[in-house]
Structure 1
Amino acid sequence: MTQPEPTIAPVLSTNPTYEPAAVPPSHLENPSHLSGDLSTVYETDRTIDWILSNDYSRITLQFPDELLGDSTRVEKGLQDGLRRSGKKSSSVEEGVESLEIASDKPSKERKVYILADTSYGSCCVDEVAAEHAAADCIVHYGRACLSPTNRLPVLHVFTTLPLDLQALIASFLEIFPDKSTPVILTSSLPYASHISVVHSALVEAGYTDLFATSIIHSPSSPIPNRTCPSADTISTHHIFHIDQPLTSLILTLSALTSSTSLQIYDPKSKTTTASVASRLLRRRYALLSHIRASGVFGILINTLSSNNYLSTITTLQALLAKHYKKSYLVTVGKLNPAKLANFAEVEVWIVVGCWESAVVDEKREMWRPVVTPWEVSAALGAGEGADVDGWRGDWEAFTTKVEEFEAARGEVDDEEDDEDESEPPVFDLRTGRYISSSQPMRAPKTSIAITSEEKGSTAVTTTQKDKSLTTMINNQISPAAEYLQQKRGWKGLGSDFAEVEYDKDGNEVWRGGEGALVEQGRKGVARGYVVHKEDDRT
């Protein structure tokens, strides 16, 4: 049964009682999250060679949350390796030159920094945080979207995870008993090094039509960042994916396997399940009707390092303005329902991020729908038939294809608009109702009243038909200001203790007594708050 959509914004206040944080046991203070030798898993030798060969002096290490337990050990290993490598001489002549007494040339100091918290998703390279340390390069660990960066060179270390080969082969034989079945073998990046071994084992088992993918830095590939069969044969292959893929990847792979299947192998449970992408697709396509009926959009910046994200924002703003829809540009860092619920006037959020974060797995927790630029372009007609690359963040292709489609269709003649109605309603298929506020930026209709006076002179009065559009900022209609004026119950600090009214022009008129005195609230740091006066929570 479909859950009803919320009608009011969620309550953002929290319980003021704070419980002390659990202290981990002493033997778990520095756990190793990955099995195997640290230098092998984190490829410290390759990292040191890369740093020395490019002569980098300020290095930043970016770890996801699940690998932070190993960050200090990796940093120490790199520091020790860089010191040892700096003392080595590549030849006898260099060793003799280093003994010159008169030489005052200091040895180059190299500093390594750990990025413990990224600005956006952990899959993206955080160039913003790295520039705070004036870094020369970034070493990115763990799962990565491999989106091209703008400013800093990047070395990706995928930190290979262990895989039970025998259990995987047994599960594969059970799912595909016919050994002539065409199958594409792919996986998440931490398991990518096992693909060639799995392919060889299955070939020895008798399978004749297997394709083993390899890593490439191309998010616009049919299988993002992977090699794949030719375009005319890829739809005939089944896909066997190692590790649970993200929602965006499930939608992308399901589009390739519309006539076959997508099988997902879980290395932890050692089981294989078929993807249930049909339910996800129905949910995403249902959002198209909601996009058409919405009038206020929030363009949510979820990356500052991927190429072409600025051109995508410009294209979205122009596309929404052409359809008389208002857009606001917002950046909030990592997404969560509480952050987005602060902007209750926004009806639909558009995420501009990497291809992995383009589809937000909201699970009905978000106050408003979160969609992708491609879904907006398809809903408003700009991307329909333009062969835009689906739910992925191939922003350069997105902008190009939308512009080509608009040029082919031609400019819309303003004279075709209905002059008798300034804002024709839009029928929402999800609610079965007509929506009259889907185009808030359309010019409001005015009426002219002519009145006669005693001396025969006439006065011309212009009145505005749509009184909901009276809030203007810099001669621009502001739906957010209108929402603040008419719908928000909290108007600011002190408004709870004074009566606030509005005159006919929309200006605030304060009546009643003064507000209450401001009292000191909680203070302290996250690990120990001081509540009220003497109640100390640590």
Structure 2
Amino acid sequence: MMADAFSSSSETVIQRAVDVTVKVNTPVGKLEELYQISKTCEFIREHKFEKVALQFPDELLGDSVAVARQIETNSNAKPFILGDTSYGSCCVDEVAAEHVGADCIVHYGSACLSPSKRLPSMYVFEKRPLDVETCASSFRELYPDRQSRIVVLYDVNYDHAVDDLLAHLSPEYPNLVASELVVEGEQCYMTSRMKTQSSDGCVSGQEHHPPIFQFGRQFSLKEGLSVTDYSMFYVGQEGATLRNFMMTWNRSSFCSFDPVSMKGRVESLSVNRALMKRYYAIERAKDASVVGVLVGTLGVADYLAIIQQLKETIRRAGKKSYMFAMGKLNVPKLANFLEIDIFVLVACPENSLLDSSEFYKPVVTPFEMEVACNKTREWSEEYVTDFRHLLPGGQSHVPLADQQEDGDETDVSLITGALRSRNLLNSEPTESSFGSSVVLRNQTMTVANNSAASFLAGRSWRGLEQNLGETPVVKAVQGRRGIAIAYEEEGTS
């Protein structure tokens, strides 16, 4: 594809070759199979929805118009296409749907299956191809012992092929455990073999002992056995889903099969090394004085509850916190807040483990911030990426210590080697000759006031301020014309 770039004077034309990859749209005859249009229309008619939000990830937007037309024709509902989601495309974007007054959301493609409670939602997974024979053959090579205890996990887009895979393997492996997709909430629906979880945490029709539920997957183990007694086999490409499973069940061995390359492998990623990187971030959080709470979701249930819990935990640890809602994160956005020492991201499990190596300040998860600030929570082999487990009633909830028992404890930073106090900001400041910028703590230690307000006051530029009545009125003058590479009034060299 050839692109013409014009200079500001329109006299010179630069011919530049640009490689553009254009995704071929799905043929109309295959839209029904891939996007489950008939089941979607049946769902819309059954609940008498009038406005429907169709949420597509970027890679499926090419088919969005054709799908929307067929849904409008067959359901008599008005569809609205949601393209650029507010946060991660794996989450149901209830905020964007509410902007158009939608009655429900149809979510297409990959999904983290995080619960949402505002609007009824329906999941339609992308049916990606899986060579079942090759996958089963790779499974046999990875697990030659037919008595091995194995749990089969998979990406949601391969849900349609799991039954065929199990039919090949179950007769040979008596200790094989199959996981199933479970969406939490009475207003969540599906077009596949996924089940809906009731409020008591059980799937209707099952009479086993309490199953294990994690990241929208559910499975039951034999009585007396735990997850650590099983190996994990994952069907899908390397990504956030597999990483979350490996971090959560870091004592279990993992193997995977990539349906694109059609190769199986033992996951050789050192989980211990990854955990040590996260522990380094926890030490940075302990050293921080000012924490930025990043709102990375507005749709996952209980996100407001975890934000309030984080703010209280941070306050009790003697740190200041500020909340930021800025949509999708990038390096330039977070670089605007130099006064923040560390950020904590509240998002769905698949977006929580953000690689912050390129950011100027680390970005940690709510669990890591709790390890840094809540002295009753200890760093152990447990790792939590789903923030809902940290709330009261959750399986990993640890109450804060009694505030009366919070003494002015000090310890040594493993990064700087300096002494740090847990409750520097909790005590009342005492009057001294040092002024308000320095607070005398005891006979040997003083601490500077690191509030964002004082940092901002010292800046020469403070953003877009109105300064009403303070700015002199001047006549408008004509500025430069053109682009920075060659303004029109500049001569050519």
TM-score surpassing 0.5? yes
Of the three residues 206, 216, 220, the one matched with 1:225 is 216
Q: Partner letter of residue 267 of structure 1?
A: P
Alignment-derived partner of residue 480 in structure 1: 452
Alignment of 1:240-319 (within 5 A): 240-247=233-240, 249-258=242-251, 260-273=252-265, 274-276=267-269, 277-319=271-313
The reply to whether residue 61 of structure 1 matches residue 46 of structure 2 is: no
Q: Partner letter of residue 176 of structure 2?
A: L
The reply to whether residue 432 of structure 1 matches residue 429 of structure 2 is: no
Task: Give TM-score scaled by structure 2 length.
Answer: 0.77
The more displaced of 267-276 and 336-345 is 267-276
The reply to whether residue 412 of structure 1 matches residue 404 of structure 2 is: yes
Q: Partner letter of residue 212 of structure 1?
A: A
The reply to whether residue 49 of structure 1 matches residue 42 of structure 2 is: yes
Find the aligned partners of 1:269 and 1:275 in 2 and give their Cα distance: 17
Could you tell me the percent identity over the aligned residues?
31
Of the three residues 176, 180, 187, the one matched with 1:210 is 176
Of the three residues 63, 68, 78, the one matched with 1:70 is 63
C-alpha distance after superposition, 1:190-247 (max 9, x if no partner): 012222211111235x222211111112499543211223383321111011113544
Aligned in 2, Cα 1:387/1:286: closer, same or farther, shift over 3 Å? closer
Alignment-derived partner of residue 193 in structure 2: none
Aligned in 2, Cα 1:48/1:203: closer, same or farther, shift over 3 Å? same
Find the aligned partners of 2:286 and 2:70 in 1 and give their Cα distance: 55
Aligned in 2, Cα 1:278/1:397: closer, same or farther, shift over 3 Å? closer
Find the aligned partners of 1:301 and 1:123 in 2 and give their Cα distance: 16
Of the three residues 100, 104, 107, the one matched with 1:140 is 107
Q: Partner letter of residue 215 of structure 1?
A: L
TM-superposed deviation, 1:428: 1.7
**The residue matched to 1:216 in structure 2 has which SS?**
strand
TM-superposed deviation, 1:266: 1.4
Aligned in 2, Cα 1:41/1:469: closer, same or farther, shift over 3 Å? farther
Aligned in 2, Cα 1:389/1:307: closer, same or farther, shift over 3 Å? farther
Q: Is the 8 A contact 1:445 1:465 kept in 2?
A: no
Q: Is the 8 A contact 2:132 2:165 kept in 1?
A: yes
TM-superposed deviation, 1:70: 1.1
Q: Partner letter of residue 226 of structure 1?
A: R
The reply to whether residue 343 of structure 1 matches residue 337 of structure 2 is: yes
Alignment of 1:350-361 (within 5 A): 350-361=344-355
TM-superposed deviation, 1:369: 1.0
The reply to whether residue 379 of structure 1 matches residue 376 of structure 2 is: no
Q: Is the 8 A contact 1:324 1:440 kept in 2?
A: yes
Alignment-derived partner of residue 3 in structure 1: none
The more displaced of 148-157 and 34-43 is 34-43
Unmatched 5+ residue regions in structure 2? 1-6, 9-13, 185-196, 202-211, 441-448
C-alpha distance after superposition, 1:292-322 (max 9, x if no partner): 1111101111111221111111111111111
Q: Is the 8 A contact 1:295 1:437 kept in 2?
A: no
Find the aligned partners of 1:493 and 1:331 in 2 and give their Cα distance: 18
**The residue matched to 1:207 in structure 2 has which SS?**
coil
Q: Partner letter of residue 145 of structure 2?
A: D
Find the aligned partners of 1:34 and 1:434 in 2 and give their Cα distance: 65
Aligned in 2, Cα 1:426/1:402: closer, same or farther, shift over 3 Å? farther
Task: Give TM-score scaled by structure 1 length.
Answer: 0.71
TM-superposed deviation, 1:444: 3.6
Unmatched 5+ residue regions in structure 1? 1-15, 84-109, 418-423, 448-462, 471-476, 495-509, 524-528
Q: Partner letter of residue 351 of structure 2?
A: S
Find the aligned partners of 2:302 and 2:64 in 1 and give their Cα distance: 31
Q: Is the 8 A contact 2:109 2:157 kept in 1?
A: yes
TM-superposed deviation, 1:406: 3.6
Alignment of 1:374-523 (within 5 A): 374-382=367-375, 384=377, 390-395=383-388, 397-400=390-393, 405-406=398-399, 409-413=401-405, 416-417=407-408, 426-435=411-420, 439-440=424-425, 442-447=427-432, 463-464=433-434, 467=437, 479-486=451-458, 488=459, 490=461
C-alpha distance after superposition, 1:255-293 (max 9, x if no partner): 4251x4111221111222314122211111222211111
Find the aligned partners of 1:343 and 1:183 in 2 and give their Cα distance: 47
Alignment-derived partner of residue 122 in structure 1: 89
Q: Is the 8 A contact 2:114 2:215 kept in 1?
A: no
Q: Partner letter of residue 295 of structure 1?
A: S
Q: Is the 8 A contact 1:62 1:115 kept in 2?
A: yes
Q: Partner letter of residue 230 of structure 2?
A: H
C-alpha distance after superposition, 1:331-367 (max 9, x if no partner): 11011111111111111111111222222133x1111
Q: How many residues in Structure 1 have an aligned counterpart in Structure 2?
A: 436
Alignment-derived partner of residue 188 in structure 2: none
Q: Partner letter of residue 75 of structure 2?
A: L
C-alpha distance after superposition, 1:163-191 (max 9, x if no partner): 12222122212211112111111111101
Find the aligned partners of 2:110 and 2:301 in 1 and give their Cα distance: 19
Q: Is the 8 A contact 1:295 1:438 kept in 2?
A: no
Q: Is the 8 A contact 1:124 1:146 kept in 2?
A: yes
C-alpha distance after superposition, 1:359-409 (max 9, x if no partner): 2133x11111111111111222355169998432242642446997447x4
Alignment-derived partner of residue 194 in structure 2: none
Aligned in 2, Cα 1:516/1:344: closer, same or farther, shift over 3 Å? farther
TM-superposed deviation, 1:465: 5.7
Find the aligned partners of 1:301 and 1:175 in 2 and give their Cα distance: 41
What do you get for the CA RMSD once the two structures are aligned? Answer: 3.9
Q: Partner letter of residue 258 of structure 2?
A: D
Find the aligned partners of 1:63 and 1:34 in 2 and give their Cα distance: 17
Aligned in 2, Cα 1:59/1:303: closer, same or farther, shift over 3 Å? same
Aligned in 2, Cα 1:179/1:479: closer, same or farther, shift over 3 Å? same
Find the aligned partners of 1:483 and 1:434 in 2 and give their Cα distance: 23
Rg larger for: 1
Aligned in 2, Cα 1:383/1:152: closer, same or farther, shift over 3 Å? farther
The more displaced of 261-270 and 380-389 is 380-389
**The residue matched to 1:195 in structure 2 has which SS?**
helix
Aligned in 2, Cα 1:370/1:186: closer, same or farther, shift over 3 Å? same
Q: Is the 8 A contact 1:297 1:348 kept in 2?
A: yes
The reply to whether residue 189 of structure 1 matches residue 159 of structure 2 is: no
TM-superposed deviation, 1:44: 0.3
Find the aligned partners of 1:140 and 1:522 in 2 and give their Cα distance: 46
Alignment of 1:21-170 (within 5 A): 31-32=24-25, 37-82=30-75, 110-170=77-137
Q: Partner letter of residue 311 of structure 1?
A: A
